[in-house]
Structure 1
């Protein structure tokens, strides 16, 4: 059987010349990567409306254009003067991309970051505010552009100056942490309900493959199931089960498109009692069967 595109979009994929045509616009090593221009890569990596799991953490700045994206079920808009921080193992789905869209991006795993005592630094950062997108002032935007320009210039040297890049990244991440903290102090825009909803979505993204009971999530949040349902509905116009089902479908779509697992194996992976139950569930939510999604005519 021909091997499909790997489930995780990781650094090794960007090194594939069948996927990325112009490698002069990117630098790839086992634990770190830099994309100088997403548009100029002419990558065939990502297709609209298909979910992908992002293996390493990502930090990106938007150069021009815009993109509408679902990140772990939540829609975001990427546009100029935005700083993006995407935590490892997030599921990303492009909804719409403008023809002129371009961005710069760094990707790294935890082994590359020389930070003592913060093994999960990306998750730590993402919990500082409601979104993983920071709006930048013109001055802040220029500062981050300078970070990216300096790293790219250093990466053009014949020898990979690993320690220099590592510590520039640490500085970049702590600067993001500073801005995220500062935004929280100056903008009291996250209500108690919004905070609960964000924590709930984070739990769903973590546990939905095994836990599909409202009581489980309510207990995790120290709330009653009824109150959790009320908060989630008010914050999103959807129920707790709506979000759980969407998360399961997202996981199923990733496995159907980007793994070699058969339908019955995916059913087991997602903890359904049997393949028939999984197929009926998938069709009820999406309108098509898993096989039809996996192999459209």
Structure 2
């Protein structure tokens, strides 16, 4: 949605503050009185917190899983995160997590686009189109972990040109991730049902503000609503309407938590007839009113 706000590094850290380790041996201490996020942040995630509110960031987040795992939702796709996985979350996508395993541990690198030189635009553009999580083999995992450790050392020591060295380390990390994504066998779309399912999920991300019915998406795909419903149920295990509504709920949650616009304006932005209709829709899925949700979770 064009007018949705993108949250800053500082807002992201505040939202997930309870996940950050206090007095960490690795990474920055977000609890320190003098802590102030700059163009990049590296920290340890202690794995606490089972579920996160959907957020849409203005920056990149590169997450290396050391142990444990979770389910990470990125736009319309779900990724099963396991130990030794690496994933780059890019600006503008809406993402959240749930089902974090006990004793999970992640290293998180956050950086602004402007921190890196213009010359890496093509590299970043590649990652903007390829959002998948990558499972690293033992050798590559050690390689990537070493880069995180070098970034941590540069930050801790604060020697001359440490930011320039950090930039080069981040670029090296992004090239390794690109190489691993390209080396991963592509999932071959073998049949028409898979084609329809993939296209349907992409269309939701493009049109969820405009279209809320299965028929609307079926018309775009030039198939009947019944055909679309049956295909999605078989291919993805849930109804087509579930995926449409799930994306709308994410957007409402995000706007309630990260904007100060009224619920009436949110309902208008998302093409509900009025705020009462939005309220009924939201409560049916979340079990509480938009006002209550905003009071409980507003950042």
Cα deviation digits, residues 241-268 of structure 1 (max 9, x gap): 3211110111111222333222212212
CA distance in 1, matches of 2:10, 2:294: 24
Which of 10, 13, 16 is matched with 1:12 structurally?
10
- Does the 8 A contact of 1:83 with 1:134 survive in 2? yes
Residue 33 in structure 1 maps to residue 11 in structure 2? no
Partner of 1:66: 69
Cα pair distance change 1:290/1:170, threshold 3 Å: same
CA 1:13–1:254: 2 relative to 1, 3 Å = closer
The 2-side partners of 1:175 and 1:56 are apart by 19
After TM superposition, the structure 1 = structure 2 runs for residues 236-275 of structure 1, keeping only pairs within 5 Å, are 236-275=236-275
Distance 1:184 1:245 in 2: 31
How many angstroms apart in 2 are the aligned matches of 1:30 and 1:195? 43
Is 1:52 paired with 2:55?
Answer: yes
Runs of 4+ in 1 over 6 A off after TM superposition: none
Counterparts of 1:249 and 1:90, CA distance in 2: 15
Comparing 230-239 with 171-180, greater Cα deviation is found at 230-239
Please tell me whether the aligned partners of residues 127 and 178 of structure 2 are also in contact (alpha carbons under 8 angstroms). Answer: no
Q: 1:116 to 1:248 in 2, by over 3 A?
A: closer
RMSD: 3.4
Per the alignment, do residues 239 and 15 of structure 1 end up closer, same or farther by CA in structure 2, a change over 3 Å counting?
A: closer
Whole-Å separation in 2 of the counterparts to 1:141 and 1:237: 33
Contact 1:69–1:94, Cα closer than 8 Å, also in 2: yes
| Offset, 1:154 | 2.1
The 1:197–1:152 alpha-carbon spacing in structure 2 relative to 1, beyond 3 Å, is farther
The alpha-carbon distance between structure 1 residues 258 and 189, as it changes in their structure 2 partners (threshold 3 A), is same
- Residue 223 of structure 2 corresponds to 224
What is the TM-score when the length of structure 1 is the normalising length?
0.77
The separation in 1 between residues aligned to 2:6 and 2:41, in whole angstroms, is 15
Q: Which residue of 1 aligns with 2:32?
A: none
In structure 2, the residue corresponding to 1:156 is in which secondary structure? helix
Alpha-carbon distance in 2 for matches of 1:202, 1:149: 37
Q: Specify every segment of 5 or more residues in structure 2 that has no aligned partner in the other structure, as ranges.
A: 30-35
Q: Displacement of 1:194 after TM fit?
A: 4.2
Q: CA deviation at 1:211?
A: 3.5
Q: Give the TM-score normalised by the residue count of structure 2.
A: 0.76
User: Matched residues in 2 for 1:152 and 1:103: separation?
Assistant: 14
**1:141 — aligned with what?**
141
CA distance in 1, matches of 2:7, 2:197: 28
What SS does structure 1 have at the residue aligned with 2:150? helix
Residue number among 91, 104, 109 corresponding to 1:101 in the alignment: 104
Deviation sequence 1:202-254 (CA, Å, 0-9, x none): 4423431233355665576x653555544433221233332111101111112
CA contact (8 A) 1:110 1:120 kept: no
Conserved? CA contact 2:59–2:90, under 8 Å: yes
Residue aligned with 2:97, SS:
strand
Partner of 1:3: none
